[in-house]
Amino acid sequence: MKRLLFAIIVIFYADLGFALTIATGPSDGTYIQIARDIQRVSQKDGIKIEILATQGSFENMVLLGDRKVDLAIAQIDALGFFAKVMKPQGVNVFETLRVILNLYPEEIHVLTNNSAINSFLQLQGKRVSFGPKNGGSALTGEVLLETYGMKVEKSYPDPKDALEALRKKLLDAMIFVGGAPVPLFKNLGSDFRFVDLPRDNSLETTYDRKTLDRTLYDWTIPTETYTVYSVLMGRDTKDQLYIQNIQRLILSVLSNQDQLKASGHEKWKSSGINNPLKYYGYGPANDAIGLYQRLESLGYKIYRPK
């Protein structure tokens, strides 16, 4: 117990030295709301967070890899896609970027208002929106096309514009990855439907099965899809100041999770922040998570003196 308490004191009372910048997503998206929640609770523990709005997961990976930000929120499948893009340039992404914290699962929504389309496979050759080109939805959409061996007519409008194009029959479907219920889809009515994603074993190494139903959208029929985890990414470095910053942030988020679930974004209620980082995890981050879990198992809570 003395060692645990000493570790907590070292982490929480270390000199921060700088603010952590988090790359998020569009200003009206879930990622930036999650980052604001983190900023709100961590500032009570003296941790400075700066938030950068971006186009989404792929841009966030680029910014993180270029050391222009300290952290980035992204879908876990974006890491694999980014690694594939950078490999021909001689860059091994898995040696430089790491998962700092599991956040929450996001649902893959494939929306149509064509009554003849029920399965993703029926979108072959159709007009499909993938969302902004550097966003997570576009990356996941590419994975789906490759997995199912399909080709579609792609476009990359903002989700609001894509929905309007669907209404005008200028599109056949749109792909959007986001934490359900997505406000944009809340009151669409019976003219719209979500499209089933057929089961595929290769997808299930990264994605989890999920049903979109009336508990999420009161207008939908049950539709089978997948979820992908959004994570907080960081750099793989032995820099002690960076490590101390990351560990303080993790302990702050974990010790304030009741507040996050009560007054933060709805997705905190299904978060996986307590889970150890099995894939592409950062050692010092896992140490902080393990430290918190050991204290909790002994019945202790972390409180920082005011």
Which superfamily is assigned to 106-228 in CATH? Periplasmic binding protein-like II (3.40.190.10)
Q: What span, in angstroms and rounded, lies between the C-alpha atoms of 229 and 34?
A: 14
Give me the chain's average pLDDT, please: 89
Q: Is pTM, for the whole model, over 0.85? A: no
Which tens digit of pLDDT belongs to each residue from 88-143? Answer: 888 888 888 999 999 999 999 999 999 999 999 999 999 999 998 878 899 899 99
Examine domains 2-104+230-297 and 106-228 and report if their fold is the same.
Answer: yes
Q: Locate tokens 């978060």: which residue?
A: 271
* 223-235 and 71-75 strand pairing: antiparallel
Are the beta carbons of 21 and 52 closer than 8 angstroms?
yes
Are the beta carbons of 117 and 189 closer than 8 angstroms?
no
Q: Model confidence at 192, in pLDDT bands (50, 70, 90)?
A: very high
6 pLDDT more than 60? no
Tell me the one-letter amino acid at 206.
T
Which tens digit of pLDDT belongs to each residue from 258-275? Answer: 999 999 998 899 899 998
Q: Locate tokens 């056949």: which residue?
A: 172
Measured CA distances, 302 to 57, 76, 170, 256, 266 (Å): 32, 29, 54, 9, 24
Calculate what percentage of the chain has a pLDDT beyond 90.
Answer: 61
Q: What span, in angstroms and rounded, lies between the C-alpha atoms of 150 and 197?
A: 13
Q: Which residue has the higher pLDDT, 206 or 123?
A: 123
Check the CA dihedral 53-57-62-65 and report its sign.
positive
Which superfamily is assigned to 2-104+230-297 in CATH? Periplasmic binding protein-like II (3.40.190.10)
Q: What does the domain layout of the chain look like in residue ranges?
A: 2-104+230-297, 106-228
**Would you state the pLDDT for residue 29?**
80
